[in-house]
């Protein structure tokens, strides 16, 4: 949450996101194993000149619109633009969470959550909290993160088998790299199997692949 205007906000967000992206890279990994980094900026000032309170920024070809890579993304939520949000924007769940973050008093909170049982439960918890503004914002941001995680889990379930295959490949790469590291340290195949918590035949197969490289 950024309350005060910063003319270098875009550079700041680039710096933090790129730094987080590279810090997730470890020796022995392939570039394809780099994890996506998504920066979310909740701003109490207007940053983008175009309409809309929410902007989703990705790496795209400016001529064709083709996506270059989806592992660096930025979300910008501008609270000052909520009042003039388009009708379709006001129908999104993000709009209501942003309204809660932008609320100046409890009446605005009541108006925002009215008629929604889940949001009313959030309001009840908010009343129990300290009136300190910082604590309130932190609480709401935690709730947003929880909702995002629920959405992510739902998407993962829908993707199903493909997600499972990807995870299996990732775990296989990690096991392969760990076996290489332990072999270089002079561990026996029995000790490697114990450290990696796998069967000895699986270790033997991996070691044979290493010898064939």
What is the per-residue pLDDT across 162-197, written as a single tens digit (0 to 9) for each?
Answer: 555 555 555 666 777 787 778 878 888 888 888 888
Which structure tokens are listed for 90? Answer: 């006001």
* DSSP calls for 123-174: HHHHHHS-S-HHHHHHHHHHHHHHHHHHHHHHHHHHHTHHHHHHHHHHHHHH
Checking if the pLDDT of 74 tops 70, the result is yes
Among the residue ranges 58-62, 88-92, 137-141, the one predicted with the least confidence is 137-141
**What sign for the dihedral angle of Cα 132, 133, 138, 140?**
positive
pTM of the model: 0.53
Q: How many angstroms separate the CA atoms of 79 and 83, rounded? A: 8
What pLDDT does residue 182 have?
A: 83
What pLDDT does residue 139 have?
A: 63
């Amino acid at each position: 949450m950024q309350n005060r205007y910063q003319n270098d906000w875009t550079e700041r967000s680039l710096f933090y996101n790129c730094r987080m992206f590279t810090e997730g890279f470890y020796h022995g990994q392939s570039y394809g194993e780099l994890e996506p980094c998504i920066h979310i900026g909740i701003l109490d000032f207007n940053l983008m000149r175009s309409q809309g309170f929410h902007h989703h920024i990705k790496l795209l070809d400016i001529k064709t619109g083709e996506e270059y890579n989806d592992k660096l993304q930025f979300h910008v939520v501008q609270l000052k633009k909520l009042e003039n949000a388009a009708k379709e924007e006001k129908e999104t769940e993000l709009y209501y969470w942003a309204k809660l973050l932008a609320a100046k008093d409890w009446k605005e909170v009541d108006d925002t959550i009215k008629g929604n049982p889940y949001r009313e439960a959030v309001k009840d918890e908010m009343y129990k909290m300290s009136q300190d503004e910082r604590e309130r914002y932190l609480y709401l941001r935690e709730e947003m993160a929880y909702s995002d995680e629920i959405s992510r889990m739902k998407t993962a379930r829908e993707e199903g088998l493909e997600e499972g295959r990807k995870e299996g490949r990732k775990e296989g790469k990690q096991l392969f790299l760990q076996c290489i590291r332990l072999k270089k340290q002079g561990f026996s195949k029995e000790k490697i199997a114990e450290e990696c918590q796998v069967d000895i035949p699986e270790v033997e197969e991996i070691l044979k692949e290493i010898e064939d490289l």
